[in-house]
Chain A
Amino acid sequence: MLGVRLLSKRALRPYSTHPPNARLNLPIDYAATPLLAHAPKTCLSNPELPHHVRDGKTSRLNLFQAVNAALRHALGSDERVLVFGEDVAFGGVFRCSMGLANDFGTERVFNTPLSEQGIVGFAIGAALEGMKPVAEIQFADYVYPAFDQLVNEAAKVRYRAGSTDMHAGGLVVRMPMGGVGHGALYHSQSPESLFTHVPGLRVVIPRSPIQAKGLLLSAIASPDPVIFMEPKILYRAAVEQVPNEAYTLPLSKAEILKEGKDVTIISYGTPLYNCFSAIEAAEKDFGVSVELIDLRTVYPWDRPAILESVKKTGRAIVVHESMINAGVGAEVAATIQEGAFLRLEAPVQRVAGWSTHMGLAYEKFNIPDVVRIYDTIRKVIEY
């Protein structure tokens, strides 16, 4: 009996538990976090939503369902929209395209051969002839074969075509990104900063189902090519009330999630949830007031909103999951230093992935967890 118990205890590695005395690094309670709209009223009070949407109904959706709802609306309202990629036709390996091939036909929702450069090149060509292709790269980790097409072609085509006005606007490249607990080297990457160094591309990362739907519809409507990165850990975890109607949310506009006066935290995507937990603890423990801002679009990003906030608080922390060196945080920190130097009361801090790869067994040490954010808030307050 004892032997069996020991064995089963060993076999069940406690992946989903936390250290018994942990106070900060607790699992995110997505069912309670105020970053998600748990009631229809919360959802519909969003001032960014147009009036007719705010008067409408909502449904409880997770992030992949919100992506699906956006694609469904786009396909249904504009015959130029095409949805394709690897394994998209049966619904996608993350369920984002469920039912779309059935409802809109296999000429508009289809599988492609397994070739990322082909998928993106094909999408650019379709966009050049006036379609609105929404291409899927199965994991952001596999976007690199399409790098040439994205950097040299999609991003530059409007510029080089000049007054002919031939361009690849309408092109959206969706890709699941970020850590998922056990994705290791090739199912965890966050390559957004590689694209923020490319003029001509818009890079968007939603944090929630409401955002996923609104920002994806904006991306499809955008006259510029958009890289749309979906934090895959949130596909099922983040559930909230999402308007049933179609709506767009502005690109290149940050959202203040929580107002504060002592410290500004700037982040996007999944780490926002850890930021919120860290802020709750820090405000209680240190009596500070922290402002939390979601960038939403990481390029071209909302520089005025960030500078305005930091000029008010005097302290800034940038949080992201991808590697710290030359990450989005480097650009944000440098801009703050340039634009708010005299208001700064502490050096701008970056809490980000370490300068390494996502080794399978070590993910929890590599993501910006609550402890690291909490400790950094303390650091800037005590500086």
Chain B
Amino acid sequence: MFPRCRVLASRRSSLPLRSQIITERPRPRVPVYNASTRWTSGGVPQKLGSDRVHFPGAVNSKFTTTLSFDQPESRPAMPTYRILDQDGEVVDKERGPPSVPDEEVLKWYTNMLTVSIMDLIMFEAQRQGRLSFYMVSAGEEGIAVGSAAALHPDDVIFAQYREAGVFAQRGFTLDDFMAQLFANRHDPGLGRNMPVHYGSAALHIHTISSPLATQIPHAAGAAYALKQQDLHRPSADAAGGAGESAARRVVACYFGEGAASEGDFHAALNIAATRGCPVVFVCRNNGFAISTPTLEQYRGDGIASRGLGYGIETVRVDGNDVFAVHEATLAARAKALENGGRPILLEAMSYRVSHHSTSDDSFAYRARVEVEDWKRRDNPITRLRKWLEARGLWDEERETDARARIRKDVLAAFARAEKEKRPPVRNLWEGVYAEVTEEAEAQIAEMKRLLEKYEAEYDLSEYEGGIAGLDRKKE
């Protein structure tokens, strides 16, 4: 990124004594570590008369005397893996139906339905001013649920913000969702974050933050940590699959196609590849980053084509096909643990049926009819419903019952959460550091003085403990 001027070696300074001048030793010709086999030929000089390159930067490139630029458009777009078609039927009749137990598929369906119904209710609640903000994941429930179902419960997850289905699939309850959305005293985030910024230590999902793509290098570093830790755990086994607690772990990292334009995406995929980090990068390509269509986001073949440039095995899947997402993630997880660990990129194609957020009216930049088309034509929930119905696992009556029950449960959790108090006010200062600093204690005392002196100016009734909520927690 920057020229590393070796000025310190070549110039004499006026202030420092001679003894402190930093002299550079020449860099070793052969890299001192060989984390990657690519470096094994790094010390070999260009051979006389060879037909291919032996420069350290590209070790197996053939020479050519034809000047020809590689054309991005001359390569076919990477194919999109699917199992079910839009009617919920298995496309490849020879492969047979997906081998997932019926009750698990029904659980996926229920989780997708739950997220979708919660989305409708909470979006409306925001419109009524009962919630400050909300983001739905309509059209992308299949990506979240299908991929999360393929992970081991001990796998670590980093999400962007449109992955409520991941939380649902992992075991987040409606009360967990509501506590965060209403920033009440049960919110693990202690009322500090905007709505939909969920997190859970028990479910190994790191707390969502608003800055886009920052979680992608975190995922690489976390995966490296898991790899190191599992190396020292002799019981760790590559088998994976749900239920085995001693299995080796991977990290799953979610982000949208817009976030992939950030520098952190580049940094993360590159370092994950060079350090062999067992991480599955899941890109949700839903066609829009707020108002920006993908044509203004990139000109290559989506996000998937970039994986290869980083030396990362990559697959593109139909994000509306929960089976395809599940199977691809399962395979990606297994691959991520092969050969000591490596990253895998999965691009799941879908369409953002909803507005970007409650602060966005997407009809300002796209036609209503286009959205309606997508809703009608293809949707991960209806596609799975068709498959379930064809197998006799679902019908209109069960659908009506499920919808009514989920709706009732969401509203009940909503009502419970809305009534709860907010966490104590001291949480404004707590948690900045492991211990509250002397400076912060002085500010808490000053805030307390103001609250007492100008009692009528502040409403403390909705905060647990009222003004006593500023006091230090008793040990």
Contact = CB atoms under 8 A, between A and B. Distances in A.
Interface of A: 14-18, 27-28, 30, 79, 82, 86-87, 89-91, 93-95, 101, 106-108, 110-131, 133, 138, 142, 145, 148-149, 152-153, 156-167, 169, 179-184, 186-187, 199-200, 202, 223-224, 232-237, 252, 300, 303-304, 363-364, 367
A276 to B, nearest CB: 15
Contacts of A79: 232
B377 interface: no
A115 B270 contact: yes
B189 A162 contact: yes
B271 A122 contact: yes
B228 to A, nearest CB: 7
Contacts of A148: 211, 214, 264
Nearest to B272: A122
B433 interface: yes
Interface in B108-164: 156, 158
Interface in B1-34: 1-2, 4-5, 7-8, 11-22, 24-25, 27-28, 31-34
A126 B222 contact: yes
B367 to A, nearest CB: 35
A122 B224 contact: yes
B221 interface: yes
Contacts of B270: 113, 115, 118
Contacts of B264: 117-118, 121, 148-149
Contacts of B225: 125-126, 128-131
Given A111-B33, A115-B270, A121-B221, A304 B15 contact: no
B324 interface: no
B58 to A, nearest CB: 16
B40 interface: no
Contacts of B2: 142, 186
B44 to A, nearest CB: 20
A363 to B, nearest CB: 8
A15 B12 contact: yes
Most A CB within 10 A of own CB, among B214, B275, B434 = B214
B212 to A, nearest CB: 10
Contacts of B8: 93, 180, 182-183, 187, 232
A58 to B, nearest CB: 20
Interface stretch (B191-199, B234-242, B378-386): B191-199
Nearest to B226: A129
Interface size range of chain B in the complex = 35 or more
Contacts of B216: 121
Contact of A122 (B22, B34, B220, B439): B220
B48 interface: no
B297 to A, nearest CB: 20
24 contacts: A90-B27, A106-B32, A106-B34, A111-B31, A113-B271, A115-B1, A118-B270, A125-B158, A128-B222, A128-B225, A129-B222, A131-B228, A145-B263, A148-B214, A149-B214, A153-B214, A157-B207, A158-B433, A162-B192, A183-B8, A200-B433, A233-B15, A233-B16, A236-B22
Contacts of B4: 86, 93, 138
Given A121-B218, A153-B211, A158-B434, A89 B33 contact: yes
B192 A237 contact: no
Contact of A186 (B5, B220, B263): B5
B456 interface: no
Pairs of residues from A and B, 4 with the lowest C-beta to C-beta distance, nearest first: A181-B13, A121-B217, A125-B221, A118-B267
A253 to B, nearest CB: 11
Nearest to B186: A163
A108 B225 CA distance: 10
B88 interface: no
Nearest to A187: B7
A152 B211 contact: yes
A27 B218 contact: no
A235 B201 CA distance: 41
Given A129-B222, A180-B8, A16 B13 contact: yes
A115 B266 contact: yes
Contacts of A160: 189, 192-193, 197, 199, 207, 209
B206 interface: yes
Interface of B: 1-2, 4-5, 7-8, 11-22, 24-25, 27-28, 31-35, 156, 158, 187-190, 192-193, 197, 199-201, 206-207, 209, 211, 214, 216-226, 228-229, 231-232, 251, 263-264, 266-268, 270-271, 274-275, 427, 431-434, 437-439
Contacts of A199: 432
A144 to B, nearest CB: 10
B202 to A, nearest CB: 8
Nearest to A129: B225
Contact of A200 (B156, B187, B432): B432
B256 to A, nearest CB: 17
Contacts of A163: 188, 190
A118 to B, nearest CB: 3
Contacts of B20: 233-237
A318 B31 CA distance: 46
Nearest to A130: B225
B201 A106 contact: no
Contacts of A93: 4, 8, 22, 24
Contacts of A95: 22
A236 B268 CA distance: 35
B188 A122 contact: no
Contacts of A113: 267, 270-271, 274
A51 B14 CA distance: 41
Contacts of B5: 186-187
A117 B33 contact: no
Contacts of A133: 221
Nearest to B227: A107
Given A89-B33, A106-B33, A131-B225, A181 B437 contact: no
B19 A237 contact: yes
Contacts of A27: 15-17
Contacts of B32: 89-90, 101, 106
Given A121-B214, A237-B19, 19 more contacts: A17-B14, A27-B17, A90-B27, A91-B25, A113-B271, A114-B1, A121-B216, A121-B217, A125-B224, A128-B225, A152-B209, A160-B209, A162-B427, A164-B207, A233-B15, A234-B20, A236-B22, A300-B438, A363-B15
A117 B267 contact: yes
Given A27-B17, A125-B220, A166 B263 contact: no
B309 to A, nearest CB: 13
